[in-house]
Chain A
C-alpha cells in the first residue's frame, strides 16, 4: 500500500521521503482546489515542485479539486494554459472533482492521469463507472463516509478496469458530513456568530454550550423517543457530529481489501504535525503488514485495533 501526503512547503518533500512517503500532492493558488488552502505559489512555479519531488523519487500530483470552480470564458482560457504548463512540468496526476473541470482536462488531453477527488462523492460502482468511462479517471479517492463493506462493489469495478483506489487515514480526517455536500464550511449560507477557523463548524459542531434542540414538526412516534433523539442531536451537533464509519477496524478492512493508497491530506497542518502524523500512519501500516495473512481476518482486525490504539 502506497502512502501519499499533502505538502504545503517544498522543503517538506525530502523530509517526507525519509519517512517512507511514496507520493505527494500540492495545490497552487491559481488552479481551483478544495478549500483553497496551503497553496505553494502558482502554476508557473509548479515545475520546481515537480522536479524536487522527482529528484527524491516521489510521484507528485496537483490538487485541482475545487468543487465550486467558477470560471468565466477568460478564466477558462487561463486555466487551460496553467493545466498545460503543469502537465509540461511533468506532474504525475491531477486530482479533480468538478465535472466541468474534468471536461476541461479531457479537452486538453494532456495525457496526465486524473484522480477523482473525494470531494466528488463516489459511493457506488455506477458512479465510478461514469467518471472512468466519461473522463478516463485512473484513480478514485474514496470518501471517508463509506464503510469498507460498502466499498466492495467500487473496488471490484476498479480492479477490473485497472483503476487505482485511495482512502484517507482514519485518524486525521474529520468532517462528519459528505464532503462535497458540506456547506457548513461556507458562512455565506448562514450568519456565523464571530470568527471561527475554516471547517470548525462541521468538524466540532458549535462548541461551548450544548445546542438547544426542539421538535419543529412531529409526524408520529412517542414523545419520549422524540426527546431522546433531540438529546442525541444536541450532543452530536455540539460535540463532533455524527458517528464515523472510517474507524480503525474499517481502515484495517480497507487495507485488507486491496486499496492501493492511503492519504494524509490535512493541508492546514504545519510541517511538524505532518511529520508526526505520517509516522503514525507508517506505524499503522507496519502493524497491518505484520498481522494480515498471519491471523484470520477477525483476529487480525482485533489485534490491529488494539495495537494501533483504536
Chain B
C-alpha cells in the first residue's frame, strides 16, 4: 500500500519542515484540487522543488475555465521539461484538462480527481461504487486506470462490475468532499445585480485557514477549505480492506 501526503497552504515556507512532514510518505500530492484561483505562478517553482525530493509526486488540478486552462498549459509545459526523482502523475478534475494533456502529447500517467471520478464511481458505505459498465468503457477509451475517491471509514467491499480489474483507487482521508463552488463562501464579495463579473475575484482567504462549521441542519461538523465543503470521514481504512476494494494508495489530507 502506497502512502501519500497532500500538501496544504504554506507547505513550502519551510523546506526542512516540508521534508520532515513528507518523510513517512512515498507520495507528495500537490497543487490545487478544487479551485482554479489557486493555480498561481509559484506552483511551477514549487513543483520544481518537489522534483528534487526523493518522492513520487502527483500534481492535483481543478475544474477550470479558459483562464485555468491557460494557467495549466504553462504549468504542464514547464513540468514536461522537469525530471523527477520518483514517479510523476497528474490528477484531473476536468475533461478539458485531460484534453489539454493529450493535445500536448504528454505521456504522463493521469488519474481522475475526486470531482471528475464521480462520473464513474461514488463513495458508498460499502466502498467505491462503480456506476455503470459503460462508464468503465469510457475510462478505457480515455486510457484512465486510476480514480481518486473519498471513502467512508467502514468501507468493506466494492460493487465492482466485471472488466474493471485494471482500475485502481487512491483513497483520500480524513475528509469526504460533499460540495464545491466557484464563488467560494470564504472569499469573493457579493455581486450587485448591475455588475456582470468577468471572473471570480478572490483574495485567497483560504490560504490563511480551514474552518469548522457547526449548523442546525447537519449533525456532523462541516469542514470548509477554500471553495470546497467536506465532512469528516475518518480513516484510513485498514490496508487489507483497502486491497479488497482496489485501493492501493492512501492520501492523508490534513488541510482538506
Contacts and interface: CB of A to CB of B under 8 A. Distances in A.
Interface in B223-238: 223-224, 227, 229, 231
A232 B186 contact: yes
Nearest to A256: B196
Interface string A226-241: 1001101110111001
Interface in A123-168: 123-131, 134, 145-150, 152-153
Nearest to A249: B196
Contacts of A145: 181-183
A144 B63 CA distance: 14
B99 A101 contact: no
Nearest to B152: A189
B214 A211 contact: yes
Given A67-B119, A149-B197, A193 B188 contact: no
Given A99-B119, A124-B64, A183-B179, A69 B132 contact: yes
A212 interface: yes
B86 interface: no
Residue from B177, B186, B213 having most chain A Cβ neighbours under 10 A: B213
B65 A150 contact: yes
A123 B212 contact: no
Contacts, number: 290
Interface stretch (B37-45, B48-56, B198-206, B240-248): B198-206
A35 interface: no
B195 to A, nearest CB: 6
Given A190-B220, A220-B208, A237-B224, 17 more contacts: A71-B131, A99-B134, A99-B138, A124-B69, A131-B95, A146-B65, A150-B199, A178-B182, A193-B216, A213-B211, A219-B9, A229-B211, A242-B188, A243-B191, A249-B193, A249-B195, A301-B194
Interface of A: 67-73, 76, 98-104, 107, 120-121, 123-131, 134, 145-150, 152-153, 176-178, 180-184, 186, 188-194, 196, 200-202, 205-209, 211-221, 225-226, 229-230, 232-234, 236-238, 241-245, 247-250, 252-253, 301-302, 305, 310
